[in-house]
Amino acid sequence: MKAEDETILELDDIQSGALRARPSPYVGTYILLRIDDRRAGRELLRRLIPSVASAGNPPTAMETGVTVGLTFQGLSALGVPQDSLDSFPAEFRQGMAARAAELGDVGESAPDHWEQPLGSPDVHVGLVALASDAARLETALKRARQAYQDISGVEVIWRQDCQALPTGREPFGFRDGISQPAVEGSGIAGTNPQERPLKAGEFILGYQDEMGQLAPMPRPGVLGENGTYAVFRKLHQRVAAFRRYLSDNSSNSGEEELLAAKIVGRWRSGAPLVLAPERDDPALGADPERNNNFLYVADDDEKGFKCPVGAHIRRAHPRDGLDFGNVNIRRMIRRGTVYGPLLPEGVLEDDGADRGLCFVFAGAHLKRQFEFVQKVWVNNGVSIGAPAETDPLVGPNDKSGQFTIPQQPIRRRLQGLPQFVVTRGGEYFFMPGLRALRWLASLDT
């Protein structure tokens, strides 16, 4: 354990993917594997460890990086002792599929409709390979294949290619990945200079968190220290439906863009409504020094006349916009990666292609971070005084959604929001530290 007043992270023992930003732009591949023989699984880890970069020595833009995560079923398949397995939090042991109803993954997003094998007991190991271009990615994938392809007892069961576009935009057309917290002791700056660095224990196990406590950590200490939890979500985006809704509820293209910005909380350029409430400011949106430098109450938007209190980014991170609770204990590191072809500009009919985001949320507290934000802020409007409303962009609306836009003299209330984002699957992973990976690889039971 680290001393309570110590804020220097053991970066050399933390996987780079847990803390460090990804290159921009980049291409990547997610790979899922099943372990059929525990000794084969341990050999897999031994071979992968040399390719896993630490946060203290992250890959440069010219290099490749691999991140490794294990599900609860994967830890069990490796032969981790039962007392260690029992020491993980209940939500991790149960897995995302078992908690789907609490997360709002119902109807079309329910596990019965997930892409196989996501959410199944067969998912044991998750690999993420990232690189600045396709040629370097192939180098990373070649190393990964060398680690698993000739091991009897380990099977690749799923693969998803993805990319971060040079524009930084996702399929709906919005600049993504703008808001990230600073982590105390990491030396990694956040994106909002008005927010102080958060305690490292919010993100990495073994350090003091914002409550002045240590997050519950799996036993033995070598397994838990410097690890984190990663939430993986494959989210299909109904881009044509989103465009049609904007068109049907606007009288011209300018109104469409404003409505889109009100739903999200930013213009497509990335410019926040709080700083650009009347019209888009592409220069602001493209400026990393300014495009996240805002609060809500402090910047005179307590009532949401600039950015609606129910807008997507305000729900996901209320900043100083809530007058109760500690929003800092809900923060996560977020990474979103585009998959599938983009729908051409102006097309209003669905072409049948699968497109969306592979989203990863990293933090030390699955329940009070990801699950709370998803259940209470995204899928419920009680905290903003609108119990009947869910997130207008990613909420489970299914043509029953409502969204209120404060304005003078009369607020505007949109009705009949369809479901723009459908969950295709997801998993809870544990991302061990480098020492923990070596410990897992050396198990001899």
Q: Transcribe 161-190 into DSSP letters.
A: EEEE-TT-B-TTS-B-------BTTT----
- Alpha-carbon distance 23 to 15, whole Å? 15
Catalytic residues: 176
Mean predicted lDDT score pLDDT of the chain: 93
What residues contact 305, with CB distance under 8 A and at least 6 apart? Answer: 277, 406, 407, 408
Exposure letters 349-379 (e unless 16+ CB within 10 A, then b) = eeeeeebbbbbbbbbbbbebbbbbbbbebbb
Please give the pLDDT value at position 3: 42
Structure tokens at 227: 């690890």
| Cβ contact 373:394 at 8 Å | no
pLDDT < 50 positions in the chain = 1-4, 6
Please give the pLDDT value at position 2: 46
- Alpha-carbon distance 27 to 4, whole Å? 39
Of 351, 315, 353, 348, residue with least CA distance to 245 = 348
Name the region of 339 (left: φ>0; alpha: ψ -120 to 50; beta: rest). Answer: beta
Please give the pLDDT value at position 5: 52
Kindly write down the DSSP assignment for every residue of 298-324, as one continuous string.
TTT-TT-SSS-TTSHHHHH--TT--SS
Of 122, 83, 319, 415, residue with least CA distance to 223 = 83
Structure tokens at 145: 């294949």
CA atoms within 13 A on the CB side of 407: 12
Structure tokens at 53: 């970069």
Q: Residue 277 — φ and ψ, nearest 5°?
A: -75, -25
- Alpha-carbon distance 269 to 273, whole Å? 11
CA atoms within 13 A on the CB side of 445: 9
Please give the pLDDT value at position 401: 83
